[in-house]
Amino acid sequence: MSWYLRMNPSSGNLHPTEAYAVLPALDWLPGGAGVSYFHYLPLGIDRGCNGSRGTFGMWSADRDLKIQQPLSQFFVSQLINLEWVQMGSAEQKLFPASSDVVDDAGHVLVTSYAVLRPDGQWSLMIVNKDQENSHGVRIAFHDSKSGADKFFAGPVSIAMFGSEQYAWHPNLNGGTADPDGPIARSTKTFEPDETFQLPKASVTVLRGRIGVPSSGTTEKIKRETKKKQK
């Protein structure tokens, strides 16, 4: 089975990646002119600039660069590339998203990222940065043109990765993960006024169609919102 993952290196860091080199005929390169492919090499766990052990790679590896096990970066890369966005060259439309989940100091604990995929599905990636607590959220898509809120309608695909799916256990050799995945996947139908629970320290992708609820449901949501604001 092959996994197609996009890597986006940032300046100043060591990132594992893949590259193609179009080269002329060289004395030291067998095969003559052509395209040479440099494949990803798994990085071992080492000490970073702050002295803590870690890696920029998606797998842990031994001294011979043999993969030992996938790491959290591997699973989150799957979430982004295989669940949140749609693979291919078609246009993905990004939209601003926000949450009002903050701590006592005003730091935002839950961040969200919305995309309208080429297949017509709305996909929402939600990150709960709180390492200790789960948080409930009510999801609404606000149409600025009509002023109406839309909600998930019909079955919604859920892909979740967090502390229940992955836990790192450090040791003198670097450490191991247990549990070590997989991503938890499920499907459910959302109610417009439903509160969805985000597990602590988790990344969740919700993907499905959206629609405008009935007038009766809309009035119920307005009443519930006013109660929470009092």
Question: What is the pLDDT, as a whole number, of residue 171?
Answer: 80
Between residues 126 and 212, the one the model is more confident about: 126
Cα separation values, 96 from 37, 123, 125, 139, 158, Å: 37, 12, 12, 14, 21
Predicted confidence band of residue 44 (pLDDT cuts 50, 70, 90): low
Residue 206: partners with Cβ closer than 8 Å, 6 or more residues away: 123, 124, 126, 139, 152, 156, 157, 158, 196
* 5, pLDDT greater than 60: no
Residues in the chain: 230
Strand stretches in the chain, DSSP E: 19-23, 34-38, 46-47, 53-54, 59-61, 67-70, 93-95, 110-116, 122-128, 135-137, 141-142, 149-162, 166-169, 176-180, 184-189, 196-198, 202-211
Q: What is the DSSP letter of 80?
A: I
Task: Supply 52's token pair.
Answer: 């803590």
What average pLDDT does this structure show over 134-141? 94
Residue with structure tokens 């089975």? 1
Question: What is the pLDDT, as a whole number, of residue 222?
Answer: 52
**Would you call 156 helix, strand, or coil by DSSP?**
strand
Q: What is the DSSP letter of 102?
A: B
Between residues 32 and 5, the one the model is more confident about: 32
Task: Supply 81's token pair.
Answer: 């590339």
H-assigned helices in the chain: 72-78, 215-229
**Would you call 78 helix, strand, or coil by DSSP?**
helix
Mean of pLDDT over the chain: 82
Question: What is the pLDDT, as a whole number, of residue 41?
Answer: 66
Share of the chain above pLDDT 90, in %: 49
* 4, pLDDT greater than 50: no
Question: What is the pLDDT, as a whole number, of residue 217?
Answer: 52
Question: What is the pLDDT, as a whole number, of residue 179?
Answer: 95
Per-residue pLDDT reduced to its tens digit, 168-200: 888 877 788 999 999 999 999 998 888 999 999
Question: What is the pLDDT, as a whole number, of residue 214?
Answer: 58
Q: Which residues pair with 53 in a beta bridge?
A: 47
Question: What is the pLDDT, as a whole number, of residue 2?
Answer: 43
Per-residue pLDDT reduced to its tens digit, 114-123: 999 999 999 9
Q: Tell me, what amino acid is at 178? A: D
Per-residue pLDDT reduced to its tens digit, 56-79: 678 888 888 788 899 998 999 999
Per-residue pLDDT reduced to its tens digit, 19-38: 777 878 877 777 778 777 66
